Amino acid sequence: MLDNLVVDRIIYVRHGETPWNVSGRLQGQRDIPLDPAGREQAAAAGASVKTYLGADFDRTMASTAIWCSPLLRTRETMEIALGAMGEAGRPFAMDDRLKEISFGDWEGMMWSEVDRIDPTAEARRARDKWGFVPPGGESYAQLVERIKPFFEALSGDALVVSHGGVARALMNLIGGLPGDEAAIAEIHQGRVLIFEGDRYYWI
């Protein structure tokens, strides 16, 4: 069991919707672009950040580290969100540790296709969604271990655009949400999640 990580403040945005989100395909670390709704969600998230920071926006953004998963859907989300904040073209850093949880051999499949090749897989995963490791992939528990060094190294405020799985891992790592609850937590697209101290909340 990991001790809860305490952070200054992480302004966290999940990437916008993609065609694979709509169709129910397991994206994992596949490089899928945003769809039109996803681009709207990214802009909405950027507008929410600007509203949330209010009069402190310029001062806060001047000292905020900006990080992004290197996958296309997160990079597009970051660029659109920054544009909505009036920060178009602002550079940001990327780190492979911010990539989505890997579904390994299942990436690109729908659950109906997974069921055809392994009829018991979905039931096994449902029994321990936090600890289950897809073939060639990783579990949420392993994802926590992957991202922990990155977030431990942050100091001060950070704006992070990443993925739903990473947000769930942070709910466990920072907020102390038990793994079985974190694994099924709904992570909204187009909304912003704040991690501060040892807690988290949506804005």
- Is residue 139 helix, strand or coil? coil
- Please give the distance of CA 196 from its chain centroid, rounded to a whole number: 16
pLDDT at 1 over 80: no
Domains, the chain, in order of start with CATH, read 7-137+153-202 (3.40.50.1240)
Write out the H or E segment, with its range, that includes residue 196.
strand 192-197
Calculate mean pLDDT across residues 169-198.
96
Instruction: Tell me which residues are annotated as active site.
Output: 15, 100
Q: What is the pLDDT of residues 61-82, one digit of tens each?
A: 999 999 999 999 999 999 999 9
What is the percentage of the chain residues whose pLDDT exceeds 70?
A: 99
Q: Which residue, 143, 184, 157, is CA-closest to 2? A: 143
Which tokens in the block code for residue 137?
């992939």
**Pairing status of strand 65-68 against strand 93-94:** parallel
